[in-house]
Structure 1
């Protein structure tokens, strides 16, 4: 429990200390923001800072820091270290710069931002990358809740149309369609802060339940500094890919422009972007602690957690909520496993619309032009929603962390151009390059090589990327000479 408290204190302290270093490096000023200058009443709408924070938290979090953290707990309390230091030095930095670089470029989508600083080739790669990722996220977060609703209704003995997952899938997609094109302050700005608060309350309830139950003990990192995964999956780089939300996630960079278009002042960025990432890290740390504390360990392996996760991640959430909060936990779990994924899904499709709008230079002021993009987007989502869930999700983890890697390199190039300390982004960019490339070479769904091959290749490629970046930063100097 002591190591958990230390990690929690480091996360909170990281917001005030390292978060301030990041903010000072970027140096926000009093220039007019896109929300004030453009203010189209649809996507560019000024919202108060507390709403920006809660909406950003819900957009980037959903169930990500819960699912990922509990999966990460299979490796044991060593996951606390990744959540803590990943959030402070990588995730918070990634989210802050993805939001602020968008804000500095008229609220541009992350693909356009990458193009500004990494060139047109990378811009086109990121356009495709972003849209595919967003449609995958939006679709999975429609199919999953639809199935959960049917399960819940089935347990109540309800049959017929209401027990048909196809019916609920179309209901959710219809909601996505509406939420994707109407003004951001009509649904997202009004309702999502409430669900953001629910997400925080659920995490607080879980940790209070663990602290007050004598049967639960959060293991110490120094007493369990081993790989406790029941299937023997290596910590590097599988744990770093599995725990994305709650440490660092490329998906966040697709969401940050939504709030970048709604800030009244650049100085809100520290609280809205870095702060929301730290809050997500705290939530992930709590759920990882729950996974380590509640379930049995056999022979030094997390067998009990593995068994409950085998019943599905939603079943695991219900189990934790009931064991830590009793009856009230059921209501919070209902919100968690059904509402939170839906709120992430609709903002994913909204972000996809904005990426396409920026790509094809389609003005979004008029309803008809928004519908031109919304209709085909949701049609694709409906098609993907009928594919095998496992196939759709199989490549998400690697795609997600690779996106984070590219965004960090983008921020590094921006800082170089501005003659600022680019190492605060280049170091995590190099680290995430090693994570992403190692996973790509050793994961079964990718190339499936042995770790003896994947480890050195991943590190060599990360060093190569760093070398290319350093070469690019020296190139202007050589030309001037």
Structure 2
């Protein structure tokens, strides 16, 4: 199989999904109203609630949800063969992720931009909200702590990426001023921003930078982790228009250019996929493909983290309700394109099957390293780029995706603490600065409390896939109940909801058995907590929808 066919079929199917299926969902299911007054206008404050051009908002949404996960997950999952990974990414993007992301924005937009966790209390009940808030906190803790480790590792390993990664922040600050203070046209700003970012990438290989290997007892990796959290804390407190929006928007354009280069190189070099379509010779210890495929590839098919972004930051910046189709559904399409690129790089970026098998010697191998290595080979062969420059381009892509997700993730974690402050009437926790300090402290406590070099977040990462997909199921539950109350068709969300709940529970049971055999009692206990949450969510789902079908909507009051 030539990689060109994978690319054309995948991209063609996703384009069809956007132009046909998303239009059907927007018009017939969500019934988007261009005249609806969005929370961005109703509560405009210039900090969190800011009516935003849909292209700028798409950039924020896309780069916030498309972290390292749509690279890591698919580049690991191809160990079962490229066909299962390809099918789940393509169909998951069209029928799961797009509906989930757009639906989360719609649900939040229709309820004063409440986060999906807070909204659960209104739509389903207080029990469901309590479960949701715990799961949300765990997901954000995992994302923020682990992405800091991933970024720090890449900055340490690929020192040529340091200048373009940190230089992108300076470019974003300038872009924010040009858009909102100088009122310069978006096209001009876009061109200048993208050129500046790629100029930094070109400079990167000639100016590699590294931190001291040991400073005040901290390794260079640990130092990067601390610096990343200091930056993320500051970024989470700044008005969204000053850094978050312009950084995400320009990064989104730059990253799409990077994807364009990679796909263009595929067309020119026409590499063959050397990995097997279905791998019958998986390494010893590799778990069963079903259900693990559907939690290994989360971002890139469907991810609960997207619901947090959709309802946490995106809905607060929505200018017109009709913009959410482009922002939410097309944002999911963008991530699907990244996941497809990761599959191609990790299966067609190697010369022989033996070279591929050397990378995939055990489950969990591949990931970002396979994407960078395989993608760099494709860029070098197709466009004639120097291999070091190719590696820098792809490394910067991965770091910028992870970095923008971490920016948004810490802001969302701050919102969670503030919501807890409101729920439990803790006045000081409702303020931005204390809530941000709590968010950073919890991440650093996990990072350094469970690992001396700051990599402690990896301790609970094995549960990310299942917890994240449970969160996606919870989000779909809220959307489904809202549709049921409005008397609208709900199969477009109910089918993905049931599928995710079944696969998540099966995956949790398999992981539970593995943790027991390994005598890993910490993860065993945490797995039980998440499993109990999944069962309770299923019961809440059945109970709520059954009452609605019985015409007893009046009984669906908040439960204590």
CA distance in 2, matches of 1:445, 1:322: 39
1:358 to 419, 422, 435: 419
2:292 is aligned to 238
1:53 is aligned to 58
Q: How does 1:67-82 map to 2 (within 5 A)?
A: 67-78=72-83, 79-82=85-88
How far did 1:354 drift? 1.5
Cα–Cα, structure 1 residues 461 and 447, in superposed 2: closer, same or farther, change >3 Å? farther
How far did 1:260 drift? 0.6
2:403 is aligned to 342
Q: Is the deviation greater in 196-205 or in 149-158?
A: 149-158
Preserved CA contact (<8 Å) 2:305 2:468 = yes
2:44 is aligned to 39
Q: Is the deviation greater in 14-23 or in 335-344?
A: 335-344
1:128 is aligned to 134
Q: How does 1:176-191 map to 2 (within 5 A)?
A: 176-191=232-247
2:434 is aligned to 372
CA distance in 2, matches of 1:123, 1:175: 31
Preserved CA contact (<8 Å) 2:417 2:429 = no
RMSD: 3.2
CA distance in 2, matches of 1:461, 1:34: 31
How far did 1:172 drift? 0.8
1:476 is aligned to 551
1:139 is aligned to 145
Q: Is the deviation greater in 404-413 or in 2-11?
A: 2-11
CA distance in 1, matches of 2:282, 2:404: 31
Cα–Cα, structure 1 residues 472 and 59, in superposed 2: closer, same or farther, change >3 Å? same
How far did 1:157 drift? 8.0
1:148 is aligned to 154
CA distance in 1, matches of 2:467, 2:246: 31
How far did 1:408 drift? 1.0
Preserved CA contact (<8 Å) 2:73 2:296 = yes
1:393 is aligned to 461
Please give the secondary structure, in 2, of the residue aligned with 1:266.
coil
Preserved CA contact (<8 Å) 1:83 1:247 = yes
Q: How does 1:7-26 map to 2 (within 5 A)?
A: 7-24=10-27, 25-26=29-30
Preserved CA contact (<8 Å) 1:8 1:282 = yes
Matched, 1:63 2:68: yes
How far did 1:447 drift? 6.6
Cα–Cα, structure 1 residues 473 and 310, in superposed 2: closer, same or farther, change >3 Å? closer
Cα–Cα, structure 1 residues 416 and 128, in superposed 2: closer, same or farther, change >3 Å? same
Cα–Cα, structure 1 residues 262 and 470, in superposed 2: closer, same or farther, change >3 Å? closer
CA distance in 2, matches of 1:476, 1:238: 38
Q: How does 1:276-287 map to 2 (within 5 A)?
A: 276-287=331-342
How far did 1:88 drift? 0.9
Preserved CA contact (<8 Å) 1:111 1:126 = yes
CA distance in 2, matches of 1:479, 1:309: 50
Preserved CA contact (<8 Å) 2:244 2:407 = no
- Aligned pairs, number: 465
Q: How does 1:433-472 map to 2 (within 5 A)?
A: 433-443=501-511, 468=543, 470-472=545-547
CA distance in 1, matches of 2:554, 2:121: 22
How far did 1:132 drift? 2.1
Preserved CA contact (<8 Å) 2:474 2:537 = no
Cα–Cα, structure 1 residues 478 and 414, in superposed 2: closer, same or farther, change >3 Å? closer
Q: Is the deviation greater in 155-164 or in 420-429?
A: 155-164
Matched, 1:248 2:302: yes
How far did 1:305 drift? 4.3
Matched, 1:206 2:259: no
Q: How does 1:82-161 map to 2 (within 5 A)?
A: 82-153=88-159, 159-160=212-213
How far did 1:311 drift? 7.0
The C-alpha deviation readout for 1:74-119, integer Å capped at 9, x for no partner, is 2222211111111111111111111111111111111012222221
Q: Is the deviation greater in 332-341 or in 85-94?
A: 332-341
Please give the secondary structure, in 2, of the residue aligned with 1:385.
helix
CA distance in 2, matches of 1:395, 1:382: 19
Please give the secondary structure, in 2, of the residue aligned with 1:40.
coil
Please give the secondary structure, in 1, of the residue aligned with 2:37.
coil
How far did 1:308 drift? 10
1:415 is aligned to 483
Gaps of 5+ in 1: 450-459
Cα–Cα, structure 1 residues 445 and 329, in superposed 2: closer, same or farther, change >3 Å? farther
